[in-house]
């Protein structure tokens, strides 16, 4: 399961930030189109760090982080991390972890 980690002054502490496909970012400064669902979201922690891990986030793929702050639409381009396979778990462990992350365990 890949994740997105971000530290940015664009998103204040406690702001809930959504992760969207990069194609969801409009040309002008408006919210993402309503037909593009957020993949996952999380709040910026007290240290200013945003970490979002979700089965819908694909390894090493481009995304945009979006939040509306004080009426302003804010975007930051991000790239997901690469999921590291732990060889000690074997394929059965990898499949079980992915199913658990997707809620199909």
pTM value surpassing 0.75: no
Distances (CA, A) of 24 to 31, 48, 87: 9, 24, 36
Q: What residues in the chain have per-residue pLDDT under 70? A: 1, 83-94, 97, 101-105
Residue 67, pLDDT score? 94
Q: Coil, helix or strand for 68?
A: strand
Residue 104, pLDDT score? 65
Residue 17, pLDDT score? 95
Residue 20, pLDDT score? 92
Between CA 13 and CA 92 the distance in angstroms is 39
* Domains in the chain: ranges and CATH: 3-102 (2.60.40)
Residue 3, pLDDT score? 84
Residue 15, pLDDT score? 96
């Amino acid at each position: 399961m890949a994740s997105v980690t971000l530290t940015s002054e664009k998103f204040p502490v406690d702001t809930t930030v959504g992760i969207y496909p990069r194609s969801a970012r409009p040309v002008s400064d408006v919210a993402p189109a309503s037909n593009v669902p957020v993949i996952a979201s999380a709040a910026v922690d007290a240290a200013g760090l945003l970490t979002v891990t979700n089965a819908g986030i694909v390894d090493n793929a481009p995304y945009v982080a979006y939040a509306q702050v004080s009426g302003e639409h804010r975007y930051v381009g991000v790239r997901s991390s690469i999921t590291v396979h732990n060889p000690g778990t074997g394929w059965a462990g990898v499949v079980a972890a992915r199913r658990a992350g997707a809620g199909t365990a």
